[in-house]
Amino acid sequence: MSAHQALTQLVPLAAELDENKVTPGVLGFVVFAVMAVAVWALMKSMNRHMNRVDFEEAPERPAPARPTGSAPRE
């Protein structure tokens, strides 16, 4: 079958396609499902990492005492 014959047979089939009805099909569903599973896994990972973080602040260390009575440097 030549390319010309294939085109003459496929063009009428393409014309019968309803241009107002567009669906994502199986590939669209698979891509959406994979993205949903990836987001779910990322949220579980983030939750696990956030639970490991210690939010309590350590007490502030006192500043070292300055010697009193010393003359300022010029």
Digitized pLDDT (tens) for each residue of the chain, 74 residues in all:
577 777 677 667 666 767 788 788 899 999 999 999 999 999 999 999 999 987 787 788 877 777 666 666 65
Give the per-residue pLDDT at 35: 98
In a domain, 59, yes or no: no
Give the per-residue pLDDT at 54: 78
Structural domain tally of the chain?
1
In a domain, 36, yes or no: yes
How far is the C-alpha of 65 from the C-alpha of 48, rounded, in Å?
42
In a domain, 69, yes or no: no
pTM: 0.48
Domain that holds residue 36: 23-48
